[in-house]
Amino acid sequence: MTEQSSYLTVTALTRYIKKKFDADPYLRKVFVKGELSNVKYHSNGHVYFTLKDAGSRIACAMFAGQARSLTFRAEEGMNVFVTGDISLFESAGNYQFYVKSMEPDGVGALFVAYEQLKKKLDQEGLFSPHLKKPLPKIPQHIGVITSPTGAAIRDILATLERRFPLARVTVFSALVQGAGAAASVVRAIEKANRSKDMDVLLVGRGGGSIEDLWAFNEEPVARAIAGSRVPIISAVGHETDTTIADFVADLRAPTPTAAAELAVPDQLQLRRHIDDQATRVRQLATVALQQREEHWQRLSSSLVFTDTARLYRPFVEQHIRLQEQLTAALEKQVQRTRSDYRQLEMRLQFLSPHARIQTEMANNQKLQQRLHFIVKQQTAARSRELLDRMRTLEALSPLQTMRKGFVYTEIQGTVIKSVEQLNANDTLAIHFHDGTAQAVIQSVEKGEKHGTDI
């Protein structure tokens, strides 16, 4: 019977097996391919997953330090190549693959990362046309974010100077390739947005491989472009190069030179447009002046300017009738007063105490004076009213207007109020305030009516 001291503990056995794993040089750097399953990203940055094929599976762990180097996100069902070492996980008694590096099977890691980020941002709506900000037609201040030593900046500045030299250009230097390029581009975009008078930004670089252009495929750059207050034109690489920045930007240009052309108008075309507009304005002004002149001719030939007496004749006649009525009323009042005076005098004589007669005579004299005063006041008031009305009529008289140069026209006694009444070769009678002239119409141009015919 075996002694109890010969038995190993589970921990001792597990440690012994782990030492065997760790001592095996063939398990120190193992290259394995398989399919990802049960992928879990831990909050501390570690990634845990299972690597499997048709016949077996192995538990894997990729610690945060190595996981941060991944350019793509590990996902369920993805076929990958992994490199690492094999060891025993003591607490569970299972062997485990500790992954150091991972690459997609069949496509490059950068391409996978590109497609993943593109899908993610598209689902968030960052590519939506509704988020695209309109570009200014005539920018005053243009910002350029690129390398200050590359060919792209020379092409952009030369194009801006040729097409629209009036614009002010500010270059924001940034790394566009290699480590730290994405952060440098983000800082340049934020700095440009702090400029209150910035109208448009050109962000990009010249052509290159996908690795060279990768800074413009990184998420911080995409979100900085999407959050920019200033409209951004993406100008990355050649026409065949497409980056995430192209989808997020307000406008994508195929090349840096094309971006400069899209950012500003062509000064030659702009000058031609201004000349065309000036010609159009002059033509419109000429037509408007002709129409105003024709309208003035129609007004000056209206009846109100030829027979001005018709305007104030009814007022004069009414005033005369009122004056006659007032005179008749005053005359009747005087006659009644005289009649009353005679009756009173007779009554006084009939009643006659002398003192009373004297008193009544004095009262009668006062009444008579008061009557004459009232009649005089009313007559003066009526006269002033008549003068005011005469002055008003004189001020409103068309004769005053005709003396300033207005006339009216007629044909055979018919007043012309519209060009529709006129035909070529008609003979017009043009009436001025001091006479009449004859004129023959050479041509008639009928157009839009202006104003109101009198």
pLDDT at position 452, please?
45
- For residue 275, what are its two tokens? 């000349």
Query: HSE (CB half, 13 Å, CA atoms) of 25?
Result: 0
Specify the CATH number of the domain 115-265.
3.40.50.10550
Per-domain residue ranges for the chain? 9-106, 115-265, 309-396
DSSP string, 195-227: -TT--EEEEEE----TTTTGGGGSHHHHHHHHT
Q: Tell me the C-alpha distance between 76 and 35, whole Å.
A: 8
CB 233 within 8 Å of CB 256: no
**pTM of the entire predicted model:** 0.46
Q: What average pLDDT does this structure show over 264-269?
A: 87
Angle 111-115-119 (CA atoms, 0-180°, nearest 5)? Answer: 170
Q: What average pLDDT does this structure show over 280-307?
A: 78
- Residues 388-426 pLDDT 10s: 888 887 777 777 777 777 888 898 888 888 888 888 888
Residue 254 has pLDDT above 60, yes or no: yes
Q: Which residues pair with 146 in a beta bridge?
A: 173
Angle 263-251-116 (CA atoms, 0-180°, nearest 5)? Answer: 150
302 confidence band (pLDDT: 50, 70, 90): low
The three-class DSSP label of residue 70 is coil
Phi, psi at residue 151, to the nearest 5°?
A: -70, -25
- CATH topology match: 9-106 vs 115-265: no
Phi, psi at residue 14, to the nearest 5°?
A: -65, -40
Q: What percent of the chain has pLDDT over 70?
A: 91
Maximum average pLDDT range among 165-169, 269-273, 281-285, 447-451: 165-169
Angle 17-22-25 (CA atoms, 0-180°, nearest 5)? Answer: 125
Q: How many CB atoms lie within 10 A of CB 369?
A: 10
What average pLDDT is seen over the chain? 85
Q: Which residues pair with 414 in a beta bridge?
A: 411
What CATH fold (topology level) applies to the domain 9-106? OB fold (Dihydrolipoamide Acetyltransferase, E2P) (2.40.50)
453 confidence band (pLDDT: 50, 70, 90): very low
Query: HSE (CB half, 13 Å, CA atoms) of 157?
Result: 14
Residue 186 has pLDDT above 90, yes or no: yes
Q: What percent of the chain has pLDDT over 90?
A: 33
Q: Which residues pair with 33 in a beta bridge?
A: 81
Q: Tell me the C-alpha distance between 246 and 215, whole Å.
A: 12
